[in-house]
Amino acid sequence: MAFEVRMPQLGLTMEEGTVTRWVKQEGDAVKAGEVILEITTDKLTSEVESEHDGVLLKIVAQEGEDIPVKGLLAYIGEAGEQAGGAPAAAPAAAPVEEAAPVPAAAPVAVPVSGGRVRISPLARKTAAKLGVDYSGIKGTGPMGRIVQKDILAAAETGKAAPAAAAAPAAPKPAAQTAGSIELMEGDEVEKLSGMRKVVAERMTKSAQEIPVVTQNVKIDVTDLMAFRKKVNNELGVKYSLNDYILKATAKALRNNRHILVSIDGDKIIKRAHVNIGMAVALDDGLIVPVIKDADKMGLDEISGTAKDLAERARTNRLGMDEYKGSTFSISNLGMFGVETFDPIINQPDSGILGVCAVQDELVMDEEGNISKRQFMRISFTFDHRLIDGATAAKFELAVRELLENPMQILL
């Protein structure tokens, strides 16, 4: 008996996953617990393991396809076993009611199901991009399905058959489009999927639902930069500026708990924990691992936790519970030279702190003496349904007070 491999549900909000890569191919032997494919969903690349010993009989979902939760991915069974039952074939002489007559010149090489060419979504988009007529291509995928490699092969060899033998080739359209956008020569069309799709959906949802305000505060971090350098040199450690910002923010939140709130319909939820989400940029999006109970950690523990989470986020090794449960978030773009920006709130948090670049400035004191100081701006975006401007300003001043007096961060 052949066993079905289906798209797992890796989280309560997961609706679909993208098949990223098949580790095993049709005909390969597999064992229970062995990885057979990789999927991308909800900002993570996850491995799917076989639950049975046997042979990978048939791959149903091709790489690049979005498959709903519980959707069929493949069959595993004994070598030579029929996978998924024999395909139904219509009797040659049996009339089909209300079916349109088939023209005598209709091509017989086109694999069809109900009159439709069997082609994967990725292959269809690739064909549109390359201008390949796939109606005469014989697919090499399961049940004759046309897959991307068939389109690429046809584009390279120029052997794609026309839609009908006697029909002239259809004229190439003057311009191709991707949705409402006209494509120009050299443009590339890539599917919005995986992490990038999740980021797009969540940022749009946040921007549409939350009335936000962003307030910017300038902080003199001259003493902090000197203090950090002294500690690193004397103790032989490598605390980053971000470590001090995380620690200072956690302490400020503990003393300004009115910032730790969420809204749920007509209810306000007062959060009990200072769980700081730390935005980490990836090649194809971003992820926000969470430092749980950050206010209870010392600088050394916060530094180690932040570095560990960031490293595992960049290598897709985070557990699902490690990027959930934030009650506040921080996005640091200072290393990129960003002077100020308006970060988007990571729901259900009510606020996010944007950290900007440290810059040198000349300052004149009351006696007319000029000195060089180092300044940094923070941009606090908050949900105006829950937090008022003056309330937000008190929190910002608490953060500034700590960063301008670095010894207080550690006390």
Residue 287: strand, helix, or coil: strand
Q: Hey, which residues does 68 pair with through a beta bridge?
A: 16
Report d(CA 378, CA 355) in Å as an integer: 5
On the question of pLDDT at 78 being above 70, the answer is yes
On the question of pLDDT at 111 being above 60, the answer is no
**Domain at 3-77, CATH class:** mainly beta
Q: Which CATH number is 207-410 given? A: 3.30.559.10
pLDDT band at 108 (very low <50, low <70, confident <90, very high): very low
Q: Hey, which residues does 246 pair with through a beta bridge?
A: none
Asked if 254 and 295 touch (Cβ cutoff 8 Å), the reply is yes
Active site residues: 384
User: What's the predicted TM-score (pTM) here?
Assistant: 0.65
Residue 214: strand, helix, or coil: strand
Residue 381: strand, helix, or coil: strand
On the question of pLDDT at 40 being above 60, the answer is yes
Triad 171, 177, 182: Cα angle to 5°:
110
pLDDT in tens, 269-315: 999 999 999 999 887 788 999 999 999 999 999 999 999 999 999 88
Token readout for 232 is 């690193």
Token readout for 211 is 């009335």
Token readout for 249 is 């923010």
Residue 170 phi/psi, 5-degree rounding, is -65, 140
Domains 3-77 and 207-410 share a fold: no
pLDDT in tens, 166-200: 445 555 555 566 567 888 888 888 877 677 777 88
Q: Which helix (H) or strand (E) holds 356?
A: strand 351-364
What radius of gyration do the chain's Cα atoms show? 29
Where do the domains of the chain lie?
A: 3-77, 207-410
Asked if 322 and 290 touch (Cβ cutoff 8 Å), the reply is yes
Report d(CA 212, CA 207) in Å as an integer: 8
CB atoms within 10 A of CB 236: 7
